[in-house]
Homo-oligomer: A and B are copies of this chain.
């Protein structure tokens, strides 16, 4: 096609509000943009929906105590995770995915699965200064 300009019709659905800063997809990406957010959600998920801080940190090499707590706090205020204190012999803390949090596991696992299945593509990526 000699015409570099793409058919404007393709943009029809986006014309009114092309890519508003607060559109739904952007929020999702924003939510997943934190360095540890997805890791923690994923870790909680494969741990059966809940885990204790110690276990979390052990499962996520490189995760500092500070970032863990901070991310968990953010996830709490977002309503994706809840802090549960278990009154056993030595009282123990546990973080658990909320119902809302469970919903966001879906797109997250989609991404993770895609990434795993297409690891070859991801390795083809030119190394950007990281």
Interface of A toward B, CB cutoff 8 Å: 1-2, 4-7, 10-11, 14, 18-21, 23-33, 38-39, 42-43, 46-52, 55, 59-62, 74, 77-80, 86, 88-90, 92, 94, 100, 103-104, 106-107, 110-112, 114-116, 118-119, 121-122, 124-126, 128, 130
Chain B residues near A28: list those with CB within 8 A. 111, 114-115, 122
Cβ A118 vs Cβ B24 within 8 A: yes
Cβ B118 vs Cβ A11 within 8 A: no
Cβ A111 vs Cβ B52 within 8 A: no
Q: How far is the CA of A47 from the CA of B88 in the complex (A)?
A: 58
Instruction: Give the residue name and chain of the B residue nearest to A120 (CB).
Output: B24
